[in-house]
Structure formats: structure tokens, C-alpha cells
Structure 1
Amino acid sequence: MSVIEERVEVHAPVRAVYDQWTQFETFPEFMKGVERVDQVSNTLTHWKTSIAGVEREFDAEILHQVPDERISWTVLSGPKHRGTVSFTSQGTETKVSLRIEFEPEGATEKVGDTLGFVQTRVRGDLSRFKEFIEHRGQETGGWRGEVRPGADPTTR
């Protein structure tokens, strides 16, 4: 299992940054290789990606979500990965910390991981997220519900 940890400071309040991150359907606007994300339910998203000519579709489940603090997920089908994004308020700025654990599949992905291509992609996606929210000046929407292990999520 490989682990990637990246951080970025966003010049926006934590509420706006967190709320934008909950708008999964906007991810293709700043994440390279993500073609579509569908919000199926409060805790389920369906992803379509195309990275280096490899197309994949998979479902991801949100396991833990606390407004303005963190979102944790795992992939239910498809490429094996899980992660957590955390948000820390620093006055008018927000530190976004992303940790992803994944299992590279096949020789090409293993080589790409070894050469740091995956880490570079994640760093670039976080940078584009920062630009996306800072240039917009406000979030495109938000969901303030909580998801706690073993509890029903509040309505989206």
C-alpha cells in the first residue's frame, strides 16, 4: 500500500473551503483525469476517470464527515484506495491536508508510483483546487451534514 500526503494553504475561510470540497460533482474542474463524479446519496459517489489512457469507474463511500474538519472515504469497487482530507482554520486562510492510501495495479501504475507521478498529480490537483476556490471568491454550494461511523447520515 502506498501513501501520499500533501497540503495546501487556501486563502479563504474554512467554511467556504470545506463546503466547496463537499461539491464532488465539481471535481472534474480541478482534478486531472476525473471525467465525472455523481453524488448517488449522502455517503456514496460514483466516479469515472481516465488517467494515462486507462479508463475506470468506481464507487466511493464516505465513512466519516464532520463539517469544517474532515472527510474520510474508501473505494468500494475498482482501484483500491482510501483517504482523508482535513481542514484547519488559520483565520482567513485554511490548511487543507490530504492523505491517500492506495494499491497500484499493474506494472505501469507501480512504476508511476515509484517515480512519484501519483504524488505529483495529487499535488497539482490540490493546487488547482486552491486556484478554483480562490478565483471564484465563494463556494459553489455545500453540505453541512455529518457522517459518523455506525450512524445514519443527515439529509443532503
Structure 2
Amino acid sequence: MEWDGLVLDDLSTSIPTTAGLVIEPLSWDNAQAYATAIAGSPDSPYRSALLANASRFLHMPRQEVQIVVARLQGEIAGYAVLRIGPNKVAYLRNAMTVPAFRNRGVYLSLVAHRLAIARASGCTIAVLQAQTKTSSPILTKRGFTPVCRIVGLAPAPAK
């Protein structure tokens, strides 16, 4: 898998958002729905790990990162992570759109939301890693500049 390291140095860049999409912080009220939607089903083995991670995050007294979930028509449509560094750099981390909600602007709306938080926090630059074949082209059209390429290696799936 390959990712592009991207930088945006103009956080006032206009990024389109999806009408009717609601973005809210991860909370005790939405953690169950988040874990189920991101795992793909209530029976997925990943659901319990996602729920455990959400619980650890929500129990932290001081959260250095922000996790937000996006809802479309009341359903969890995606999530994203933002970390504001002490150097006022916004690190746009993990983001994912639930497959049933892809191609509806959820991802770009999550990017726009995190950039708004970054601007309000005094950040002047945003950085992220984006998959070269999916997210990177979307973001480079919106003003992000590629600065490096990252290659990840993983074992082949078991047969």
C-alpha cells in the first residue's frame, strides 16, 4: 500500500461539504453505533476492538486528539481523527467513510470540519498521509501538496 505525505499551508482553502451531514465528537452516546458502523456489522470481530479503543479514548482525562463521527440521515457515515500539535500543526489522521456512504462527500466534509477546528485553534499548516489511489487525488485537487511517498509492506492474506 502507498500513501502520499500531503501538506496544506492555506487553511482558508474552501472545501465542499455535504448538505445534511452532521459531524459530532465521539462520545458515550455514539460509541456503540460508531464501532458497529466502522466494523461493518455487529458480529464483526473488529467491533469489540473498536469499542474498546473508543472506551479508552473517552476515559482519558485529557484528550490530545479529537475523534469525530459523521452522520448522514441519522446513520454513522464515517469518522476522522485530528491532533493539534504544540507547534500549531494540524495532523489530520485516520479517516474512513462507511462503504454504503462513499461518493457522497463524507470524506471531504470530514477534512473541511477538521480544517475549521485547526483554524480556530491557531494552526497555520495541516499535514496528513493519504492513500495514493483514493484520497490523495481528491486532496491535491483541493490545494494539498504532496511532499513524500510512503510505502507499507504487509504479509499476503492467509488462504
The TM-score, its normalising length taken from structure 1, stands at 0.33
Which structure has the highest strand share of the two? 1
Structure label with greater radius of gyration? 2
